[in-house]
Amino acid sequence: MGLFVPRQGDTIDFLLRAKRDAVAAKAFFKKVIKHNGRPAKVTVDKSGSNKAALDFCNQDISGKEKIKVRQIKYLNNIMEQDHRFIKKRTNHTLGFKCFYAAQATIAGIESVRMIQKGQITRQIANQSAFSNFVNLMAA
């Protein structure tokens, strides 16, 4: 599962795959770059698949355009802390029996988190997350 969180704490994108390998990491970073543009730097965990995927993205790019890859455990903890809300919701279950059920559930949890963080356009700042959700669904 990939989660891309900039310094402000906003969730940019996520992708759930059955395997956490270089193919999944490449798909995630391609998706993020396509929808949000090329970041200047990315902090990832010590997983080799993320580093390999970012190296692949930097392959045909000149010096200043390249994404700076930082594998620093302390800085990655900010991103890992955003996962706690998913774990908080899913740890009470006995696990998912179907990959697609996990995908739909986690997508829903991430969508709710984005509403709670105020990341949705046309969201009213002083309303509750539920009121903003109702307004978004009515639109």
Helix, strand, coil fractions of the chain, as percent rounded to 5: 50, 10, 40
pLDDT at 7 over 70: no
Residue 89 lies in a domain: no
Mean pLDDT confidence for 102-121: 79
- Looking at the structure, tell me whether residues 46 and 100 fall in a common domain: no
Q: How far apart are CA 92 and CA 41, in angstroms?
A: 35
Domain residues for 7? 1-82
Residue 53 lies in a domain: yes
pTM of structure: 0.63
Task: Give tens-digit pLDDT for 10-20.
Answer: 666 777 788 88
User: Which amino acid, residue 22?
Assistant: A
Residue 117 lies in a domain: yes
Report pLDDT for 1. Answer: 47
* Closest by Cα among 64, 98, 56, 67 to 4: 67
Question: How many structural domains does the chain have?
Answer: 2
- Looking at the structure, tell me whether residues 77 and 101 fall in a common domain: no
- Looking at the structure, tell me whether residues 64 and 110 fall in a common domain: no
Residue 88 lies in a domain: no
